[in-house]
Amino acid sequence: MTNKKLNYPAIAKETAILTGAVAIIAAAVYFFLVPSHTSVSSISGLGIVLSNFVPLPLSAITMVLNTVLLIIGFFTCGREFGAKTVYTSVMLPVFLRLFERLFPDFGSMTDSQELDVLCYILVVSVGLSILFNRNASSGGLDIVAKIMNKYLHMELGKAMSLSGMCVALSAALVYDKKTVVLSILGTYFNGIVLDHFIFDNSIKRRVCIITEKEEALRQFIINDLHSGATMYEAIGAYNFEKHNEIITIVDKSEYQKLMNFINREDPKAFVTIYNVSSMHYQPKR
């Protein structure tokens, strides 16, 4: 039996990316969520509420909550919680503690509770989208959602929304009605913005083209875009003329190159475009 060699440069790169993403999330929490006093859909938000009852800094409360949830997750969901989840769950309170030491008693940057919530949503979505696109998570409510998914047979999206709303409503224990409403609205819009950051990055375009420069287009797709294509025979309903329709799926940068080529070589080409959110295929070797 041979031992599989570890790719240390790849591990170091992955660790650096995860660390950067967690740092962004921690900055969003400390510089925007904490001054707003809202509890927007996160364990850190729940920690902000609990800090009014427990004489511990936010970093310590977040560490305790994440540790408890990780232990529960390991016992209830087994190995679904990999090294990445453990790493990010531990690093988040570490960064929070670092910010607490470097910027003690930090106030609002915007002097507006509403703007603080908005800035938090935008900044934290960047960090979370990096984690999700690296097949990682920040722990916390993700673990709660997976437990609800397994034992209550609830969809992960709905489980995340429900757990997030429960955290948002916890603001009612401490803060006024305005803060509670902002927490709920922030949780709702946080999901919308996060979907935008995650799914818009993975969306591809399915481009269907009928052109007189068929061979030139085929060569461009294969040799310049290094992509694939499918060709179908299409018959026009008006005069029954036969054409070949070329269909290819491209990302954003490839789409711009493809459209530039079509506009240059055959401006009269018939083109239809669809958004594709996911694909399943066997890549060529």
pLDDT in tens, the chain (285 residues): 445 567 788 888 889 999 999 999 999 999 999 998 888 878 888 888 898 898 889 899 999 998 888 888 778 776 656 678 888 888 999 999 999 999 988 888 898 999 999 999 899 888 888 887 776 777 778 788 778 877 887 766 677 778 888 888 888 888 888 888 988 888 888 877 877 776 666 678 899 999 999 999 999 999 998 888 999 998 888 888 888 899 999 887 788 889 999 999 999 999 999 888 666 666 655
Q: In whole angstroms, give the CA distance from residue 271 to residue 210.
A: 7
Given this model, what pLDDT does residue 221 score?
A: 93
Q: What is the pLDDT of residue 2?
A: 47
**Residue intervals in the chain for CATH 3.30.70.120:** 204-276
Number of helices followed by number of strands (H, E) in the chain: 11, 4
CATH 3.30.70.120 fits 204-276, yes or no: yes
pLDDT value, residue 22:
93
pLDDT at 207: 93
CA distance 281 to 285: 12
Query: Virtual CA dihedral for 124, 78, 163, 88, nearest 10 degrees?
Result: -20
Nearest Cα to Cα of residue 129 among 281, 275, 21, 244: 21
Q: CA angle 221-222-225, nearest 5°?
A: 55
Q: Sign (positive/negative) of CA torsion 186, 192, 195, 197?
A: negative
pLDDT attached to residue 142: 76
What confidence score (pLDDT) does residue 217 get?
94
pLDDT attached to residue 21: 92
Give the pLDDT of residue 4: 54
Burial classification of residue 50, based on how many CB atoms lie within 10 Å of its CB (0-12 exposed, 13-18 middle, 19 or more buried) = buried
Q: What is the pLDDT of residue 95?
A: 94
